Amino acid sequence: MASSPSNDPLHGKTLQSILEELVERLGWEAMGGHIRINCFLDNPSINSSLKFLRKTPWARKKVEELYLRMIA
């Protein structure tokens, strides 16, 4: 029995790819305006942001919500 495709727009997306898309479209400064966290505001980088977001569920949720608003 074949499984139906997921309706979840985040299905198959890694946190890194989400973050890279947001940085490309919005830039670090705008992301820091939407989500006030130091990894976006003070010397931002993909690696430092990934480390923080992977251990901070509330911040990851906000990033995912921002991504979903951006693609809507």
7-39 tens-digit pLDDT = 888 889 999 999 999 999 999 999 999 999 999
**Range of 30's domain?**
15-71
Domain count, the chain: 1
40-72 tens-digit pLDDT = 999 999 999 999 999 999 999 999 999 999 988
| DSSP secondary structure string for all residues of 24-57 | HHH-HHHHHHHS--HHHHSS--HHHHHHHHHH-H
Q: Is residue 7 part of a domain?
A: no
Q: Is residue 5 part of a domain?
A: no
User: What is the rounded CA–CA span in Å between residue 8 and residue 33?
Assistant: 26
Selected residue with higher pLDDT from 42 and 6? 42
Q: Is residue 4 part of a domain?
A: no
Global model pTM greater than 0.95: no
CA 51 to chain centre: 12
Q: Is residue 6 part of a domain?
A: no
Q: Is residue 64 part of a domain?
A: yes
Q: Is residue 19 part of a domain?
A: yes
Q: Say which CATH number the domain at 45 has.
A: 1.10.720.30
What pLDDT, on the 0 to 100 scale, is given for residue 48? 96
